[in-house]
Amino acid sequence: MDTSQLPLETSFEPYRQRRHLLIERMVNGGGGIAVIPTSAEKARNRDTHFPYRADSYFQYLTGFTEPEAVLVVVVGKAGVSSQSILFCREKNLEREIWDGFRHGPEGAREIFGFDEAHTVSEFDDKLAEMLPDQPVLWFSIGHDTGWDQRISAALNTVRGASRTGKRAPATIRDVRAELDSMRLVKDAAELATMRRVAAISTDAHIRAMRFTAPGRFEYEVEAELLHEFRRRGCEFPAYTSIVAGGANACVLHYVGNDQVLRDGDLLLIDAGGELNGYASDITRSFPVNGRFSGAQADVYQLVLEAQVAAIAAVRPSATFADPHDAALSVLVQGMIDLKLLQGSLNQAMEEESYKRFYMHRTSHWLGKDVHDAGEYKEGENWAPLTPGMVLTIEPGCYIRPADDVPEVFWNIGVRIEDDAVVTSMGCEIITAAAPKKIEDIEALMRDARGN
Ligand code: GLY
Ligand code: MN
Ligand code: MN
């Protein structure tokens, strides 16, 4: 049996542990009450909504994915008898006939392990009861104007009752600062999900590679990716897939995906699925006809060597910037060797002349968000890498036509992107199953054509 098709085992223990960790951090930050709403549903056009996706912070702490929900965490004295309280939509059999199942407060409390649960319509009244005399309010200030106003109104109500002896929290702190630093290091449950979505996404890339041929359209290849994501249980693509043939590969955020694929061009695919709210982020670049030309192979091999150097730089105690620096040295020397750049390595580095061909950085954090939460610096220094962090390694080279650039390289755009988990020894590339050596790509595409 293909067990990769079975639903993930769902335990709500990891969510409970994360709420406990948040409570510890709140205790260290003066105690108080945290209010963490999920995201709002968004209308797309008349009577149609964008597919709903729960807020990443809210999901991280609850596993609860219904809209119209709020998590409130109240820290007891010295952290003892702290409470996690969910506000969610009430059971409503009439609405459930139209829109589907709702847990309702009682069901949600039992299944997801909250201490208390109430209907979301009770939220404002309950908050007015809970807010007085809390030393600190933890909230995502500035994230959502509607929520900012709602929280301001609640605070003003308490302030307005000061003659009754009630005090509003004197301190308001951004709860995202704590949650971001928690989310930066993934726990075992998160890593298991990320490995699984990585496996689905590498298979999607292989499927797309096998399908690609001159005359097919970019959107047909995109459909192959989406088919594999959805077939294997992903809720969504983690971001709009980039399927960029020929010159389109030199447009970094190309999402038109509506052009025909031409014999002799490269195809750049940047795509990853999202599973249980966790993203994968993979790029492969390969020839539409299955055979790299000499110039394509030169640029591709250079980017691959830069990626290998960057991956070798991922290990505990290295910093976030080390993989980028490693990739950059290889790339810039290679650009000089290919006569894309003139002058010395030092000169190109100093003048940043390489930015014509490599204008983005090599990594970002990856997790629930494709550009995940977490600071990149500690004070003035780049963040040190520690086991459990997940980052992408994605060097590239994008060559637009220009008089001073050898014509043979015009419109070649290459990016190679993998997802790395920092381990105690170095790193684990969880997306390694998608071929990236020239001979492996060519062999796979030959095999797909049966020759
Ligand atoms: N797919 C988005 C990125 O690579 O950053
Ligand atoms: Mn990326
Ligand atoms: Mn990407």
On the question of pLDDT at 364 being above 80, the answer is yes
Please pick, among 281, 322, 369, 418, the residue that the annotation labels catalytic. 281
Q: Which of 157, 182, 207 is the endpoint of a domain?
A: 182
Count how many domains the chain has: 2
At 8 the pLDDT is 53
For residues 362 and 395, the answer to whether their CB atoms sit within 8 Å is yes
Q: Which two tokens stand for residue 308?
A: 């290998």
| 324 annotated active-site | no
- Write the CB contacts of 422 (distance below 8 Å, at least 6 apart in sequence): 314, 315, 316, 385, 386, 387, 388, 389, 390, 391
CATH of residue 105's domain is 3.40.350.10
Average pLDDT for the chain: 96
Q: Are residues 288 and 409 in the same domain?
A: yes
> Would the CB of 278 count as within 6 Å of ligand 1?
no
Q: Are residues 383 and 432 in the same domain?
A: yes
> Would the CB of 418 count as within 6 Å of ligand 1?
no
At 77 the pLDDT is 76
Q: What are phi and psi of 284, to 5 degrees?
A: -130, 145
Q: Are residues 317 and 380 in the same domain?
A: yes
On the question of pLDDT at 2 being above 90, the answer is no
Q: Are residues 233 and 322 in the same domain?
A: yes
Q: Are residues 167 and 224 in the same domain?
A: no
On the question of pLDDT at 9 being above 70, the answer is no
| Residue range 167-205, pLDDT digits in tens | 999 999 999 999 999 999 999 999 999 999 999 999 999
Query: How many other C-beta atoms can be found within 10 angstroms of the C-beta atom of residue 194?
Result: 24
Q: Are residues 162 and 224 in the same domain?
A: no
For residue 397, the CA-to-ligand 2 centroid distance in Å is: 14
What is the DSSP secondary structure assignment for residue 63, as one 8-state letter?
A: -
Nearest CA to ligand 1 atom 3: 281
Q: Which of 130, 161, 182 is the endpoint of a domain?
A: 182
Nearest CA to ligand 1 atom 4: 281
Q: Are residues 112 and 219 in the same domain?
A: no
Q: Are residues 276 and 369 in the same domain?
A: yes
At 81 the pLDDT is 87
For residue 157, the CA-to-ligand 3 centroid distance in Å is: 46
Residue 4 CA to residue 197 CA, distance in Å, equals: 10
* The one-letter amino acid at 104: G
Beta bridge partners of 267: 245, 286
Surrounding residues of ion ligand 2, Cβ less than 5 A: 281, 392
At 6 the pLDDT is 45
On the question of pLDDT at 3 being above 50, the answer is no
CATH of residue 419's domain is 3.90.230.10
Q: Are residues 178 and 189 in the same domain?
A: no
Q: Are residues 165 and 194 in the same domain?
A: no
More confident residue, 381 or 81: 381
| Residue range 331-359, pLDDT digits in tens | 999 999 999 999 999 999 999 999 999 99
For residue 250, the CA-to-ligand 3 centroid distance in Å is: 14
What is the domain range of residue 64?
3-182
Categorize the per-residue pLDDT at 451 as very low, low, confident or very high, splitting at 50, 70 and 90.
Answer: confident
> Would the CB of 274 count as within 6 Å of ligand 1?
no
Please pick, among 129, 253, 404, 439, the residue that the annotation labels catalytic. 253
Which atom of ligand 1 is nearest the CA belonging to 360? 5
At 10 the pLDDT is 66
Q: Are residues 159 and 235 in the same domain?
A: no
Q: Which of 182, 202, 229 is the endpoint of a domain?
A: 182
At 76 the pLDDT is 83
Beta bridge partners of 412: 399
pTM: 0.96
Q: What is the mean pLDDT of residues 427-440?
A: 98
Q: Are residues 204 and 342 in the same domain?
A: yes
